[in-house]
Structure 1
Amino acid sequence: MFKAMGQAFFSSGLQYPEFTAAEKQGQDYEIRTYHPTKWVSTTVSGAEMDAATSSGFFKLFNYIQGKNQNKTKVEMTAPVTCLVEPGAGPTCESQFTVSFYVPQEHQENPPEPSEPDVFVEHRKEFTAYVRTFGGFAKENSKREELLKLLESLKRDGVEHVDKPFYTAGYDSPFKLTNRRNEVWILQKVPEK
């Protein structure tokens, strides 16, 4: 278990989901189209994003440590994403879906979760506007970066989905410098 904790918290050689970057990017954001992939996920309700993300992370960490139907250990990947579906008001509960990307070797047939609140998510292809930022990402900094990204999209006249949105973290809590965090706003899909 300690080796896996070390891998999850110290390794930078982790697998990432594949995406295609648009040739034309915004001046302070990227445009990425993520390919269809499978993720292992859990949804947590609450008023605080940091607490929900932490709770979800440890449920998923147990899954990759072998707490699944096959008792298969699964490599840690990055980023850890959190799909945020805000509640109706400032003190209302929001839904936070925390997810780990399933490594390439398990994409075809991920181990089935054994916990009832952990599930395999099949993400279809999607395009996101991505703002990258450093430091230790806490709820306030994520919100500030999200607002900056929204301002940039408004400035550029880019149509987007207001909610839900994603946060993404790439580093362990033990990495002190050159940290990488992101907020993702989904591209509005034209109606057919």
Structure 2
Amino acid sequence: MKRAAFTLIELIMVVVLIGILSGVAMISLRSQETVALSAAAQKVVVDLNYARGSALSTAFWYGVSFEADPANTYTVYLASNEVVVADPSNLGKPLEVNLAALFNGVSIQSVTLAGSNRVFFCPLGEAYEAKDGNQLANDGEIVLAYGNQTKSVFIDHNSGMISLQPVVAGTGEGEGEGAGEGGG
């Protein structure tokens, strides 16, 4: 006997298999966005902590300047002469980071630092809005975005400590790491 068509069970199996593969592919894509966004946020936290730690250990003021989308960059520098510091993870190169290039599309969505795009760390590690100026009146926030997800880096206005907020999807639900990460 010769078969000329597929049975209903075979068609259902193919549809179920396509559905499973589509679900796995979507989870994988979402996971890649989350990983890239989390890695970029960790990089920002590490570099902010580097500036803060340098201020604490050298008794000099250090600054970090952010440029939001479309530039998506930030720079760490010695505040007294605004000379960009050397990148400790890439010696000989300045600590200027382009998040979109380094993390394939992650952007700096917004920067809230007392009406500025810069934060300064004094020799006590506290965060200021200007070198020898006023201490931050409110917590600073740098919001990173990738796809429909965002992740915020916070700078405590009292202590200068840096922390992360979990990844937030476009639906408003959080996932990912806890808010206490990355403190210094």
> Into which bin does the TM-score normalised by the smaller protein fall?
under 0.3
Normalising by the residue count of structure 1, what TM-score does the alignment of the two structures yield? 0.26
Question: Which structure has the greater CA radius of gyration?
Answer: 2
